[in-house]
């Protein structure tokens, strides 16, 4: 009885410390991140393939500056989907591109691996590609998991067993966070321009400032045209996981707008990863709350 009481007190103290900020999930940046890019390989995507190879160095630099990937290396993965012909089996919903000789590699190795992406596909099922990732990749339980889907088309259903609900549940069950770079318009409130770079789950909208930077406003929402059901397939799912949805058209417009897109994308990605609580922290919080619940339950029973 004494040992059980001590254990419950320990859990309660731990939970109290977490809630009070002693072990704050919001403050504790993960030691490293697993970031996988799931990329459409249809015929119109070559520009985005090149952008990914050029952007990744900036993302790695900002992550390490924020303390993520210092004591342990950040991992980067690359999955293509929708390609046909000799590159993969017809109708494939996802296949790995090796990064540094394996599933995961460094940012520099990912930049090299993007040259292996092709632009020859015609039917793309992003849900199948996300499912492929979870079925085939080893994920480090102590790393923040971030998934980036990049496509200019909506979902072509190649696997009817996969749904919005099942893929969302799969991402959330692994503690993952999704970003969707899609052909879809966004806007902010208060007279903000109709073409926002992107929006996040907190209803923030990111706007190009005309000089390669960006500003932030509230009231972020989908606005204007989308390719088919892109927002319903991917954009809403990204927001549901706590991630962000981005307008591929702003990136494709080039010039300073594209620079603003990259700067906003990298900055927000880093903020997302830094504020994802470590899985061990969440587990400890759960243990503390369970212990607290056990004490409360026993007190109620005693009072009865």
Q: What is the pLDDT of residue 56?
A: 98
pLDDT in tens, 79-115: 999 866 444 444 456 889 999 999 999 999 999 999 9
Distances (CA, A) of 15 to 20, 21, 158, 163, 294: 8, 10, 45, 36, 13
Q: What is the pLDDT of residue 259?
A: 97
- Domain assignment of residue 300, yes or no: no
- Domain assignment of residue 26, yes or no: no
Neighbouring residues of 212: CB distance < 8 A, sequence distance ≥ 6: 256, 259, 260, 263
- Domain assignment of residue 46, yes or no: yes
Q: What percent of the chain has pLDDT over 90?
A: 69
Mean pLDDT of 13-27: 39
- Domain assignment of residue 292, yes or no: no
- Domain assignment of residue 286, yes or no: no
Tabulate helix, strand, coil % of the chain (nearest 5): 45, 20, 35
Q: What is the pLDDT of residue 234?
A: 98
What is the C-alpha separation between 167 and 128, in angstroms, rounded?
A: 9
What is the C-alpha separation between 223 and 129, in angstroms, rounded?
A: 27
Q: Rounded to the nearest 10 degrees, how much is the dihedral formed by the CA atoms of 168, 48, 202, 18?
A: 70
pLDDT in tens, 180-204: 999 999 999 876 776 899 999 999 9
- Domain assignment of residue 22, yes or no: no
Distances (CA, A) of 276 to 28, 145, 241, 253: 8, 9, 11, 32
Which one is predicted more confidently, 111 or 303?
111
Q: What is the pLDDT of residue 283?
A: 43
Instruction: Tally the domains of the chain.
Output: 1
CATH number, residue 177: 3.40.50.410
Q: Is the dihedral of CA 245, 250, 251, 252 positive or negative?
A: positive
Worst-scoring range by mean pLDDT, 14-23, 135-144, 165-174?
Answer: 14-23
User: Can you tell me which residue has the tokens 């190795």?
Assistant: 109
Neighbouring residues of 1: CB distance < 8 A, sequence distance ≥ 6: none
What is the C-alpha separation between 22 and 11, in angstroms, rounded?
A: 14
> Whole-prediction pTM value?
0.81
Worst-scoring range by mean pLDDT, 1-10, 27-36, 143-152, 286-295?
Answer: 1-10
Which one is predicted more confidently, 289 or 246?
246
Which one is predicted more confidently, 116 or 2?
116
pLDDT in tens, 202-229: 999 999 999 999 999 999 999 988 999 9
Which one is predicted more confidently, 271 or 28?
271
Q: What is the pLDDT of residue 124?
A: 87
User: Can you tell me which residue has the tokens 């004494």?
Assistant: 2
Task: Answer whether residue 304 shows pLDDT above 50.
Answer: no
- Domain assignment of residue 299, yes or no: no
- Domain assignment of residue 165, yes or no: yes
Mean pLDDT of 278-282: 44
Domain residues for the domain of 247 are 32-274
Q: What is the pLDDT of residue 260?
A: 97
pLDDT in tens, 121-161: 778 899 999 999 999 999 999 999 999 999 999 999 989 99
């Amino acid at each position: 009885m004494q040992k059980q009481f001590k254990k419950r007190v320990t859990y309660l103290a731990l939970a109290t410390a977490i809630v009070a900020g002693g072990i704050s999930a919001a403050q504790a940046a993960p030691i490293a991140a697993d970031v996988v890019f799931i990329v459409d390989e249809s015929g119109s995507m070559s520009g985005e393939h090149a952008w990914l190879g050029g952007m990744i160095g900036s993302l790695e630099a900002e992550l390490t500056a924020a303390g993520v990937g210092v004591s342990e290396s950040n991992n980067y993965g690359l999955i293509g989907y929708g390609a046909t012909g000799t590159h993969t089996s017809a109708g494939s919903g996802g296949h790995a591109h090796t990064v540094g000789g394996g599933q995961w590699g460094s940012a520099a190795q990912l930049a090299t691996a993007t040259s292996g992406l092709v632009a020859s596909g015609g039917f793309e099922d992003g849900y199948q590609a996300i499912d492929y990732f979870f079925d085939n990749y080893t994920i480090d339980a102590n790393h923040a998991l971030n998934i980036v889907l990049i496509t200019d088309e909506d979902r072509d259903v190649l696997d009817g067993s996969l749904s919005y609900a099942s893929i969302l549940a799969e991402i959330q069950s692994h503690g993952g966070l999704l970003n969707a770079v899609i052909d879809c318009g966004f806007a902010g409130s208060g007279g903000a321009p109709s073409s926002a770079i992107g929006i996040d789950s907190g209803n923030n909208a990111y706007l190009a400032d005309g000089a390669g930077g960006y500003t932030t406003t509230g009231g972020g929402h989908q606005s204007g045209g989308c390719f088919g059901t892109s927002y319903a397939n991917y954009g809403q799912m990204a927001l549901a996981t706590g991630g962000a949805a981005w307008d591929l058209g702003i990136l494709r417009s080039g010039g300073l707008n594209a620079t603003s897109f990259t700067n906003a994308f990298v900055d927000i990605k880093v903020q997302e990863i830094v504020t994802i609580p470590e899985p061990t922290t969440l587990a400890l919080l759960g243990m503390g709350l369970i212990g607290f619940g056990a004490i409360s339950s026993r007190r109620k029973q005693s009072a009865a």
